[in-house]
């Protein structure tokens, strides 16, 4: 797994022209936290990221559609950041072992609605 993360970080920070194939990261979340605390989901929540080295871009595909995301390489991990059309901020971070957290922070009628999912990502 660590080799996969190192390769992923290399691909996403400087995409050489020799990388022609896309990389898929599939994340599955089984627990989440909101204003009422942390609990199990009745059905897993899934989100997929596709890294397209030819376009030097990352895309998210999830329950609310798809779109381009920004990436931030960290020490031993990687984060993807999406800003939605309504200004909500969605981040997904995973470490070198595939552990992941997916955070959606938004407001509705001026009220904060935080959601944070916990799970794992696999690299294909």
Residue 97 has pLDDT above 70, yes or no: yes
Two tokens, residue 87: 């200004």
d(CA 8, CA 56): 13
- Mean pLDDT lowest for which of 27-31, 60-64, 83-87, 88-92? 60-64
Distance between start and end Cα atoms, the chain:
11
How high does pLDDT run on average in the chain?
83
Rama region for 78: left / alpha / beta (φ>0; ψ in -120 to 50; rest): beta
- 47-79: pLDDT as tens digits: 999 999 888 899 999 777 788 999 998 888 999
CB 88 within 8 A of CB 22: no
- Cβ neighbour number for residue 39 with a 10 Å cutoff: 10
CB 28 within 8 A of CB 44: yes
What DSSP state is assigned to residue 22? -
d(CA 38, CA 35): 9
Residue 72 sits in which domain range? 2-123
Number of domains comprising the chain: 1
Residue 122 has pLDDT above 90, yes or no: yes
The pLDDT assigned to 20 comes to: 57
């Amino acid at each position: 797994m660590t080799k996969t993360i190192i390769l992923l970080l290399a691909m996403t920070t400087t995409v050489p022209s020799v990388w022609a194939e896309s990389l898929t990261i599939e994340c599955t979340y089984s627990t989440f936290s909101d204003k009422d605390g942390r609990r199990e989901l009745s059905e897993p929540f899934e989100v997929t990221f596709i890294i397209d080295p030819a376009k030097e871009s990352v895309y998210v595909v999830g329950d609310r559609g798809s779109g381009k995301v920004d990436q931030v390489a960290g020490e031993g991990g990687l984060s993807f950041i999406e800003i939605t059309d309504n200004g909500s901020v969605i981040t997904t971070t995973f470490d070198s072992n595939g552990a992941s957290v997916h955070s959606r922070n938004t407001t509705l009628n001026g009220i904060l609605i935080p959601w944070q999912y916990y799970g794992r990502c696999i690299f294909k």
